[in-house]
Amino acid sequence: MMRLRDEVGEEVDEDLFALACGPDRRVRKFSSCIVNGIRFSTVARDSNKRTQNSGVMTEGEHDRKVIDFYGTLKEIIQLDYILEDRSVVLFKCDWFKLDGKKTELKNDGFFKSIHVRSLWYKDDCLILATQASKVFYLPNTKYGKNWQVVQTFDHRHLFNISETEGVPFSGPAYQEEEFCEEEGRRTSVSDLTSEKPLHRDDEQ
């Protein structure tokens, strides 16, 4: 493969080249992983734990409408590509059926309830790990044992910041050194900042 790449007259992006060559046929499977600071576990691993980390939610299209899909995590699969440090993590999920007379999602304005005995999209069950959000499922005493209430999850260290209205920024992304700005002048942050007191004597 590398020889074919050298024979091409034009320069090929390394990520695109690795993708074109396809992943290694040998895959890795895990029972748990952490994505964006949030832990996900498979249903099999959760069965032996007191905590629940196998509930997942993702946005997708159904009948030409964008909806939230709810399910449980069955397998965590890592695909490795030919170049170093290039891999993709996939979640294989069971997705709960949200339409139909007996299985349609119920939303009373406060809670969403889903029927957990019927599945759909069995042939389209994979998503990228980064597309998944974590949810919990709680017993629903109103509709019976086949129904569960969906409880969304907000990570205690992550914040959902809305985008600034107006023209979106289209420039290149970059990272600056830490600094403080005062009256148009920038001063680098001292490495000893953590040793300075957290109060000011000149203000109440």
Eight-state DSSP code of residue 119: E
pLDDT band at 115 (very low <50, low <70, confident <90, very high): very high
Percent of the chain with pLDDT over 70: 70
Q: Any idea what the Cα angle at residue 116 is, between residues 113 and 117, rounded to 5°?
A: 140
Task: Give pLDDT, residue 113.
Answer: 95
Task: Give pLDDT, residue 197.
Answer: 45
Lowest mean pLDDT among 23-27, 52-56, 102-106, 162-166: 162-166
pLDDT band at 196 (very low <50, low <70, confident <90, very high): very low
Spatial contact of 46 and 52, defined as CB atoms under 8 Å apart: yes
Element (H, E) at 4: helix 2-7
Mean residue pLDDT across the chain:
78
Task: Give pLDDT, residue 9.
Answer: 55
Cα separation, 43 vs 55, in Å, equals 8
Cα separation, 81 vs 84, in Å, equals 8
Beta strands in the chain (DSSP E): 28-30, 32-35, 38-41, 55-62, 65-80, 87-96, 106-107, 112-115, 119-120, 126-128, 133-139, 147-152, 179-182, 185-188
Residue with tokens 């086949």: 146
Task: Give pLDDT, residue 144.
Answer: 86
Cα separation, 195 vs 204, in Å, equals 21
- State the average pLDDT over residues 78-103: 90
Eight-state DSSP code of residue 195: G
Mind listing the pLDDT tens digit for each residue in 25-78? 888 999 999 998 899 999 999 998 888 999 999 999 999 999 999 999 999 999
- State the average pLDDT over residues 99-103: 92
Q: Does the pLDDT at position 141 exceed 80?
A: yes
